[in-house]
Chain A
């Protein structure tokens, strides 16, 4: 049995390789016209992901039996002192992520079969999906910082391709460009950080003989860099590395790309922009945790960035009317939770929330996709309502998702509770307060979307129809982990708890997995319930008379809190600030520099050209073509020179 499992771990590279092959098969099969059957595309895609899922499952089984992570590397680049490798590292974290990514991917691929059935870019969609799977699984299995950077860029590319999937729509093309550019900012920081880290730790890697930048030996390397570079430089290096997660995980101030990314097809929003890719930032923080925890300053920065993101995006989510955008802001907010937990030292809690969030957020997005599909591409919640009658399966799964994300007893409750107790254990009372307030808001805006979409009377024009089986079955399957995974892995049932599993073999400095007082989960639960009740009071039709009798309706509240409302509907003016900065400051400077280049630099070059041209034109006049003239000039020149020579001789 041991050897049987070992086989899977030693050949873990097959998991990312399968989608890559599928990607190539679809691309070449389509472009060379080998086949044209949609069923072949979807079957090979689903099959490759399914094999990956089974493979990951065996890898997970293997991790229970061993303490040491497995790593296999080959040298790839050998440049002077630097020797960079690629390979794979299988530990508890990688095994968990593999299972989450392949599991969610598989269900979403089945769902996409139904969602994209009519689309002309069907094969292209599935090929991009495979490319994304390859990059994401490669990222999860990466054994060193250098390799993770490669896959980091690859997920960025596939995300770009999929956001701009409907590239004929200007808004989609714009959103794809925006996502790509904002991610470039983060990637640049990450690259600078990695290079700076390598620069300072080069001697250490050489002396120790380890794989360069390997995650398994990052802790002593970070200590070496800390003594070598000093606290301030070290903080800057870690901050540069943290720029990667800021952009990829949509943290403040680079979160603005994620809501725009909803222009892509909804299965993509579910897979990439909710469950997996955006979690890659949190995954990177977890992987590079030794780097961050060596500097308390950067940990505080991370925690506060997470808290600010969670708060700002939650307030924006409250006032959105677009169903998918609300979910997108909610994703930002939940990612903020994870980053905050990471920064506050609640390492396992952050990853736990990552995992539960992947399931319930994927499910919520798939539900919203089913709604949008059923209403012929209507995304505005003001034109929905009463959809529970038309699509009951979607409504009930969505309700389960809402309960899970709001932290009302389902999986979100357990992971959020872990974060709160971690914050409490680290005496971060300010962050804990922010977290609790955000929990209240989360519950409010999620149930607001539920009541606006599924309850009351239908307010739109389209004819709602229920989701086909191929779409509703993945939804139903996703409810199981969404509802239960938190409870199952909390350690309450005697099963191995997630905390112990993920921390096994880890030697962390800032270990903050405390169990807070029993009051804490009760408070968070009560706050979530309060959010639910407020949402129900304001938006549920059953309480219409009650709220009109006391004159507290949503419209009234909007009227009273006009400035605040304007602030959140304008997205805290962050986007406007960026556009103002780019349009009014950055582009004029660029224009000035471009003008300098165009008129001064190019002017000098053109002037030289013009001078030779004019000189040629003038000299041309002397070439009369008359032999006599030439001869006269020639001989008078000789005569003149002779004369000068003679005079000089005479003068000497």
Chain B
């Protein structure tokens, strides 16, 4: 096998690879959501979830829907929404922090029945 072939083998990235990356990121995000007690971390995990979904979108768009850019546009939308969500989430968090000086999610259970 020549170098060229090896390089092609290595850099010939297919759809599956993107999807695996996306799934791994998604699982990391969920893991972060479930295990972290710090609210900031939770917000970060959500960002990771969104990023993994963006990768999914763009990958599908690139491999199945060439020239139409629907997936890419959707990814841009999600980024915008994620930015807004981060801003809003942090604002809520600040308001929450003023009432209860803690960032631990375990402490936030006033609404429990």
A and B found bound together: yes
List the interface of chain A (C-beta within 8 A of B).
620, 623-628, 631-632, 635
Is B30 touching A624 in the complex (CB atoms < 8 A)? no
With A620-B113, A623-B112 as given contacts, are A628 and B105 in contact (CB-CB < 8 Å)?
A: yes
Of chain A, the residue at the smallest CB distance from B109 is A625
Q: Are B112 and A628 in contact (CB under 8 A)?
A: no
B41 to chain A, nearest CB (A): 11
Complex Cα–Cα for A626 and B108 (A): 8
Interchain CB contact (< 8 A) of A626 among B33, B35, B42, B105:
B105
Question: Once bound together, how far apart are the Cα atoms of A536 and B42, in whole Å?
Answer: 115
Task: Point out the residue from A620, A627, A632 that lies within 8 Å of B105, measured CB to CB.
Answer: A627
Which 9 pairs, one residue from A and one from B, show the smallest C-beta to C-beta distance? A625-B112, A625-B109, A632-B34, A627-B105, A631-B33, A631-B34, A628-B34, A635-B30, A620-B113
A625 lies within 8 A of B34 (CB): no
Which chain A residues lie closer than 8 Å to B109 at the CB level?
A: 624-626
Chain B residues near A624 (CB, 8 Å)?
Answer: 109, 112
Residues of A within 8 A of B33 (CB): 628, 631
User: Are the CB atoms of A635 and B34 closer together than 8 Å?
Assistant: yes
A620 to B108 alpha-carbon distance, docked (Å): 17
**Closest residue to B33 on the A side, CB-wise?**
A631
In the complex, A631 Cα to B35 Cα: how many Å? Answer: 10
Interface residues of B in 77-113 (CB under 8 A from A): 105-106, 108-109, 111-113
CA distance A627 to B45 in the complex (A): 14
In the complex, which residues of chain B have a beta carbon less than 8 angstroms from the beta carbon of A635? Answer: 30, 34
A-B pairs with beta carbons under 8 Å apart, 26 shown:
A620-B113, A623-B112, A623-B113, A624-B109, A624-B112, A625-B108, A625-B109, A625-B111, A625-B112, A626-B105, A626-B106, A626-B109, A627-B42, A627-B105, A627-B108, A628-B33, A628-B34, A628-B35, A628-B37, A628-B105, A631-B30, A631-B33, A631-B34, A632-B34, A635-B30, A635-B34
B contact residues around A627 at 8 Å (CB): 42, 105, 108
Q: Please tell me the number of chain B residues within 8 Å of chain A, measured between CB atoms.
A: 13
CB neighbours (8 Å) of A623 from chain B are 112-113
Select from chain B the residue with minimum beta-carbon distance to A628: B34
Expressed in whole angstroms, the Cα–Cα distance for A620 and B113 within the complex equals: 7
Q: How many Å lie between the Cα of A631 and that of B30 in the bound state? A: 8
Contact with A along B30-57 (1 / 0, CB 8 A): 1001110100001000000000000000
> What is the bound-complex CA distance between A631 and B42, given in angstroms?
11
Mark out the residues of chain B between 19 and 35 whose CB falls within 8 Å of any chain A CB in the assembled complex.
Answer: 30, 33-35
With contacts A625-B111, A628-B37, A635-B34 known, what are 19 further pairs, Cβ within 8 A?
A623-B113, A624-B109, A624-B112, A625-B108, A625-B112, A626-B105, A626-B106, A626-B109, A627-B42, A627-B105, A627-B108, A628-B33, A628-B34, A628-B35, A631-B30, A631-B33, A631-B34, A632-B34, A635-B30
- Give the residues in chain A near B34, CB-CB below 8 Å: 628, 631-632, 635
**Bound-state Cα–Cα, A631 to B27, Å:** 13
Q: Which residues of B contact A626 (CB under 8 A)?
A: 105-106, 109
How far is it, in angstroms, between the C-alpha of A563 and the C-alpha of B113 when the chains are bound?
78
Give the complex CA separation of A460 and B38 in angstroms: 102
Give complex CA distance A624, B105 in Å: 12
Across-interface contacts of B108 in A (CB, < 8 A): 625, 627
Give bound CA distance, A631 to B34, whole Å: 6
Q: For the complex, give the distance between the alpha carbons of A625 and B104 in Å.
A: 13
* Nearest CB on B from A646, distance (A): 14
Give the Cβ gap from B25 to chain A, nearest Cβ, in Å: 14
CA distance A625 to B106 in the complex (A): 8
Residues on A with C-beta less than 8 A from B113 are 620, 623
Bound Cα distance from A635 to B111, whole angstroms: 22
**Could you tell me the distance in whole angstroms from the C-beta of A639 to the nearest C-beta in chain B?**
9
Neighbouring A residues of B106 by C-beta, 8 Å: 626
A183 → B minimal CB distance (Å)? 59
Q: Note all chain A residues with C-beta closer than 8 A to B35.
A: 628
**Complex: A287 Cα to B108 Cα, angstroms:** 86
> How far is it, in angstroms, between the C-alpha of A16 and the C-alpha of B20 when the chains are bound?
100
With both beta carbons as reference points, the residue of chain A lying nearest to B36 in the complex is identified as A628
Counting chain B CB atoms within 10 Å of each CB, the highest count among A620, A624, A635 belongs to A635
Interface centre among A624, A626, A627, A631, by most B CB within 10 Å? Answer: A627
Which chain B residues border A632 with CB–CB below 8 Å?
34
What CA separation (Å) do A551 and B73 show in the bound complex? 130
Give A628 to B37 CA distance when docked, in angstroms. 8
Q: Which residue on chain A has the smallest CB distance to residue B26? A: A635
Residues of B within 8 A of A620 (CB): 113
Q: Which chain A positions have C-beta within 8 A of B42?
A: 627
Residues of B within 8 A of A625 (CB): 108-109, 111-112
Chain A residues contacting B37 (CB-CB under 8 Å) are 628
Distance of A632 from chain B, by nearest CB (Å): 5
Give A226 to B41 CA distance when docked, in angstroms: 96
Identify the closest chain B residue to A624 (Cβ). Answer: B112
Please give, as numbers and ranges, the residues of chain A lying within 8 Å of B112 by CB-CB distance.
623-625
Q: Which residues of A contact B30 (CB under 8 A)?
A: 631, 635
A631 to B33 alpha-carbon distance, docked (Å): 8
Smallest Cβ distance from A140 to chain B, in angstroms? 72
